[in-house]
Structure 1
């Protein structure tokens, strides 16, 4: 099961450069962590998420420091995220890039869910790390989460060609003992521990400003490559493919079974047959996906019910309210009041 949760091998690019910066032998690091170079020679290969955590922990121990995750982030390169990295760089705004990261998160890793929201002054990206079913242990450890957050900031700085800083970073674990200057120096913002959620907070006016490198045609080209890659990545799991496609299309309205079949690249009849063989149906998956997302969104008190309805593909907030009551036997407001 641990190998199911994977990370795109492109992370090895900044990891190898970071080992040079820290005076470590990259080949020795790989050998210690039982990783062979053949494991990531293929341009679409993936590595176990636990292997990445092992690399960071080992390098921290070898250098007697705690900042190797930051060292990885400082060596950010668009190629580490497949076509997603270049799609991010050609986005029209940083917010567009953040939304693209959230949409194509599985390209980078299938270890978490990402949600981007905005109010009048801030844009927030929430990171919900998945857990192992048996132990309920988070798949990503603290250092991997720090690495992702720092890499995100490195991307923003490169895209803006400036000393960009987030407004705040919220982490859902207790404040570590010891010197945290390396975190404060890199992020240069307020860092809050013991938060209910992992949230990266940015100034709305900054992330909504136009990027010099914005290029819609390049973005469309890269997104086509990403769609094809995700289809290949999930090809063996038809139920997961349907879930992923529903999730990706919901903010455009309720997707039809015909739309999903076309997205996956099969006939409607073939899709219906394969789902029947899995003892499920398109309607059931759509309902389950919406319900799960609704229960996730409803606990995020900064989201209005109309926004949640939109994210779930409902044409009106009334339709969302009726569906939510069907799922939970209470209104969204009643549920939020009793669970938050």
Structure 2
């Protein structure tokens, strides 16, 4: 991880419920769950209370280690496949009584900090087709946690709508695994790899399907309870919120200071003043996002350099190549041909 990936003193966390099915899944793929937990400095007793908050970095590494040691590229999906909406905790009560899928998703987005500190999302809806873009903080965007997060979203929204809502497609920036059986079973729709975003596609009309369990009075009671819980968790810094907004908007070409400020309900000048108080600025955050995404696309997808340039907001391949070479000391094509060890050395040297 390089640059200002997170604000000083901010340690991203996730609810221990993310590991509720870990023990059984680990045994299913013939792993020793206790050994893996120890390796990643997670105490088994922390899994007993789903409301316990654990370090997000430990959970992400645990998922990746489990996938590598078991040889199961679908490990994150196996974790998600047996989780119900109830494992989301108190927020599940609020979601249960919302009137439509759209309002369910809006409540998830608005209360994400009750679930974790590393995921953000937004909805791009043109009136015909909607894309729910799901982003992870820089340094946490690994295959297993990304696929698990998207799968949990699909599973939860289906369950809340008694199966009436279904995704039209699921998207991942990374390339396809060797076997797709689990992906087909879990998602039940086309899965697009080497995509421009991580997330879910569905019709606009499906977002407005009526929830059979909708109850305004119960939703209001649940909201008051959630509001009480929200005040108990620290709010992430403006830097973190701006960084998440940039990641959400960049692939659609909207990662401008004005659009990011709009996403955060701020005037652009006000946003810049707030960022200055945290010793950063919009240009630095945009550059960090481009660095993170450039490495992810080049390392984990089959996107062409031309496509990557466009996804990162460059109008020409030459301008992207020039920027990339200045940042990493080699061209995008040379980066892809180099060994991961050599590339890590380049990144480390740049950060130093």
Aligned to 1:300, which of 252, 266, 277? Answer: 252
Secondary structure, aligned partner of 1:233: coil
Matches within 5 A, 1:1-340: 4-19=11-26, 22=29, 26-42=33-49, 44-61=51-68, 63-131=70-138, 138-162=139-163, 165-176=166-177, 178-234=178-234, 240=236, 243=238, 297=249, 300=252, 311=263, 313=265
Give the C-alpha shift of residue 5 in structure 1.
Answer: 1.7
Residue 282 (structure 1) aligns with? none
Aligned to 1:263: none
List structure 1 runs of 4+ shifted beyond 4 angstroms: 19-29, 40-43, 291-299, 306-314, 320-324
SS in 1 for 2:20: helix
| CA–CA separation in structure 2 for the residues paired with 1:41 and 1:294 | 36
* 1-structure distance, mates of 2:247, 2:35: 45
User: Partners of 1:36 and 1:192 in 2: how far apart?
Assistant: 36
When the two chains are superposed, the root-mean-square deviation of aligned CA atoms in Å is 4.3
Matched residue SS, 2:196: coil
Counterparts of 1:299 and 1:148, CA distance in 2: 19
Q: CA deviation at 1:294?
A: 8.2
Q: Aligned pair in 2 of structure 1 residues 293, 5: CA closer, same or farther (>3 Å)?
A: closer
Output one character per residue of 1:129-162: Cα deviation in whole Å (capped at 9) or x when no partner.
211xxxxxx3131110000111111112212222
Q: How far does residue 10 in structure 1 lie from its aligned partner after superposition?
A: 1.6
Question: Is the Cα contact below 8 Å between 1:12 and 1:80 reproduced in 2?
Answer: no
Q: Verify the 8 A CA contact 1:83 1:223 in the aligned structure 2.
A: no
How many residues align structurally? 274
Higher relative contact order (CA 8 A, sep 6+): 2
TM-score, structure 2 as length reference: 0.63
Residue of structure 1 equivalent to 2:297: none
> In structure 2, do the counterparts of structure 1 residues 3 and 37 end up closer, same or farther at CA, with 3 Å as the change threshold?
farther
1:74 Cα deviation from its structure 2 partner = 1.9
SS in 2 for 1:219: helix
> How far, CA to CA, are the matches of 1:66 and 1:295 in structure 2?
25
Distance 1:179 1:298 in 2: 30
CA distance in 2, matches of 1:295, 1:198: 11
Per the alignment, residue 323 of structure 2 pairs with: none
User: Residues of 1 paired with 2:56 and 2:270: CA distance?
Assistant: 36
Distance 2:127 2:217 in 1: 30
